Amino acid sequence: ACSPLLRQEEQADVLESLDFVLRNISELRREVEELRNSLQCLAADIVGEVRAHLEETQKAARRRRFPFPRERSDSTGSSSIYFTASSGAANTDDGESEGGYSTANAESDYERESERESEEGEDEVSCETVRTARWDSLDHLNEDDTHLVSDASLDEDLGQLLQQADRLHSGDEQERREGFQLLLNNKLAYAEQKEFLWRLARAHSDMCDMTEDADEKRSYASDGKEVLETALRKWDRCAECHQWYAVLCGQLAEHESIQKRIQTGYLFKKHIDRAIELKPEDPKSYYLLGRWCYQVAHLGWLEKKTASALFEVPPTATVQDALNNFLRVEDLSPGFSKAGRVYIAKCYRDLGNKTEAVLWTNLAAELPTNTKE
């Protein structure tokens, strides 16, 4: 006798299970491919380091062959370090992660740059030449002569510019493009104002969101991140600078390997925590922290293994941690984000509370969609 057919509910469960398995297989294939690319990049970095070492050995041999006195004989070697690192022949960040767990402290780029400046004072001239090639006009400011002005003393023209930038940032794509161009046109005039700089970085983030080209996305995110690296060297207590630095790090990591994404995750968390410490009533920071917690709670097997291999203490977070942060957003600003309410529904679903999941799904549907997300 033929076996009875599955009930409709059982068929739905089987289909859902099959779909889950297929999604996981697809994700595993993608992660394996990313791991293969990471290993290729690592091999290229090792080759670059060996090549740089051989070049330094050859230079040392030439100096012994022609022992004539030269000014600052060691500055050439220092400059070559910066040159090979910036040209891709050697990757100092990868070197740290491979040798131990120094990247687990999530030191930001602007802190490492400051440390290099203090440690290599004797190579000030050559380092300044390299920094000129890598940074824009913001780095030409003389910090000793910089006058830090408070928000209350901003001149009327800048105040109007910032208001217009905020209005355009809240608009559609065309308005956000106009806002980006407006801030870019005034970059030199207000390069010493932190309120201007974090808005300029935010505009870079907007452009990264709106463009479809991967190279352009990477370029916008990288340029915005550099703006904030400059700002954070002067204004470490600016919550918005930390907040948007974290956002841009996340955007830049979207196109990187698993290893880079995990390293960036530490950096992202560090700056979001700092933003919350400085401005604990800002709902956006809790929303970003909630997303970080949710993503960490759903790390794939390969990502967890990579994190364990790279860091002494891998990132940890639970769905409940994510839910607490998203609910905090609603406490501070009800209806702050449609995506935030969707995440709340997903958290309740993952925790097995279907009633709350349906409730928050309906609450999310009541809000307009203002962003691509």
**Is residue 321 within 8 Å of 297, Cβ to Cβ?**
yes
| Model pLDDT for residues 251-287, shown as the tens digit of each residue | 998 877 777 888 888 899 999 999 999 999 999 999 9
List the chain domain ranges: 169-280
Residue 5 — pLDDT band, cuts 50, 70, 90? low
Architecture in CATH for domain 169-280: Alpha Horseshoe (1.25)
Q: Name which of 337, 362, 334, 336 is nearest 348 in CA terms.
A: 362
d(CA 182, CA 203) in angstroms, rounded, equals 10
Nearest to 200 by CA among 245, 236, 249, 265: 245
Q: Is the pLDDT of residue 320 over 70?
A: yes
Please, are residues 161 and 127 in contact by the beta-carbon 8 Å criterion? Answer: no
Sign of the Cα pseudo-torsion (196, 201, 206, 207, in order) = positive
Burial class (CB in 10 A: 0-12, 13-18, 19+), 123: buried
Inform me whether the pLDDT recorded for 102 exceeds 90. no
CA distance linking residue 220 with residue 223, whole number of Å: 5
In whole angstroms, what is the distance from residue 52 CA to residue 200 CA? 37
Give the pTM.
Answer: 0.59
Tell me the per-residue pLDDT of 193-220, one tens digit each, with 9 for 90 and over.
999 999 999 999 999 999 999 999 999 9
* CA distance linking residue 184 with residue 307, whole number of Å: 38
